[in-house]
Amino acid sequence: MVSTLWTLAIIFLALLIVTIAIYGVKKKEPNKDFTDVSMRVKTWWGMFVVFGMATLFTQTVSLISLAVLCFFALKEYFSMMKTRKADRRLFLWSYLAIPIQFYWIYIGWYGMFIVFIPVYVFLFLPLPRLLGKGTSGFLRSVSSTQWGVMLMVFGLSHLAFFQIASPQYGANLVLFLVVLTQVNDVAHHFISIYFGKRKVVPSANQNITWEGFIGAVIITVLVAYFIYPHLTPFSVKAALLSGLLISITGFFGSLTISVLKRDLLLGNEEKRRTIKGTYLNRVDSLTYTSPVFLHVIRYFFDFM
């Protein structure tokens, strides 16, 4: 618990310094646009509160805070979709999957937790759409909804299972995962802006470059080396490999969500601008890093 408090205190201090620095720069250079950076910092504060609650308090508080995060991420995802009246029932059932998924986590039923959304929700979701007047746009509507539930609910819900699977190390492992994922995202973002030349998907995201990917991998692995003794029971080798794994999967998560958003928001530039500062942009990498990290740990370590 002491190490967790120290880590959260350092994160809080870092966010405070960044917030003050941005405020000072905005005052000094009022003609420059710092909107994107300011919105990022605001969402980082929100995520700090969510994950602080998830790591410091009881398992029940942790589950509720992460369920709320899943709800808002899914809601923001649905807001990007071009929907019809017939899709509303589909969305309602998707939201109802959140408390059910988290109930399986609460009772520790790993088998149902791992198959409920990929199997049962996948098979059930087309039915409300079929019975909801008309079949026009059926495939795009159902498949887009299922993608959202898989990423924003199934993927992110793995964060909640850490504490259930390992009461001793779970909270710290979540903090380890979130810190490295955010470090990876931030490093990739700034390296791509200042040094990036070779864009990975220029049509979807100008800030995803190969230079950013390589630089982010190096920085994330280094940060993993410095913080692993305080948050994990890992060896040095396992910590470095974890940093590498989180960096690579975070890159794929960010890349996938960028292309997905590009497709969903095609032709809607106004909504694309407003979606930049949402929590969906901050948790895109976690939709990939969370499940992969959890299952790798469960496979190689007995404490999970």
Question: What percentage of the chain exceeds 90 in pLDDT?
Answer: 35
194: in domain: yes
Domains: count for the chain: 1
54: in domain: yes
31: in domain: yes
Burial of 72 (0-12, 13-18, 19+ CB in 10 A): middle
Q: φ, ψ for residue 209 (rounded to 5)?
A: -130, 165
Q: Token digits for 24?
A: 């000072």
120 pLDDT above the threshold of 90: yes
Q: Which residue has the higher pLDDT, 271 or 153?
A: 153
Q: Which residue has the higher pLDDT, 184 or 47?
A: 184
In eight-state DSSP terms, residue 277 is G
Q: Cα(284)–Cα(177) distance, rounded to whole angstroms?
A: 14
- Structure confidence at residue 132 as a pLDDT band (50, 70, 90): low
119: in domain: no
The SS3 call for residue 175 is helix
Question: What is the pLDDT at residue 2?
Answer: 59
Residue 102 CB: number of other CB atoms within 10 A? Answer: 19
Distance from chain centroid for Cα 196: 23
Query: Which of 97-101, 152-156, 166-170, 258-262 is least confident?
Result: 258-262
Contact 283, 77 (CB under 8 A): no
Residues of the domain holding 264: 2-83+160-300
Query: Which of 18-27, 108-117, 248-257 is least confident?
Result: 18-27
51: in domain: yes
106: in domain: no
The residues, ordered by sequence, that sit 6+ positions from 90 with a Cβ below 8 Å of its Cβ are 125, 128, 129, 132, 141, 142, 145
Q: Cα(188)–Cα(248) distance, rounded to whole angstroms?
A: 11
Q: Token digits for 197?
A: 């030349």
Question: What is the pLDDT at residue 279?
Answer: 58
The residues, ordered by sequence, that sit 6+ positions from 222 with a Cβ below 8 Å of its Cβ are 243
Q: Cα(297)–Cα(268) distance, rounded to whole angstroms?
A: 41
Average pLDDT of the segment spanning 178-206: 81
260: in domain: yes
- Structure confidence at residue 51 as a pLDDT band (50, 70, 90): low
Q: Cα(19)–Cα(257) distance, rounded to whole angstroms?
A: 27
Summarised one tens digit per residue, pLDDT across range 11-28 is 778 778 877 877 777 777
- What is the chain's mean pLDDT, rounded? 82
Question: What is the pLDDT at residue 218?
Answer: 96
173 pLDDT above the threshold of 60: yes
Q: What is the pTM of this model?
A: 0.84
249 pLDDT above the threshold of 80: yes
241: in domain: yes
Average pLDDT of the segment spanning 155-171: 89
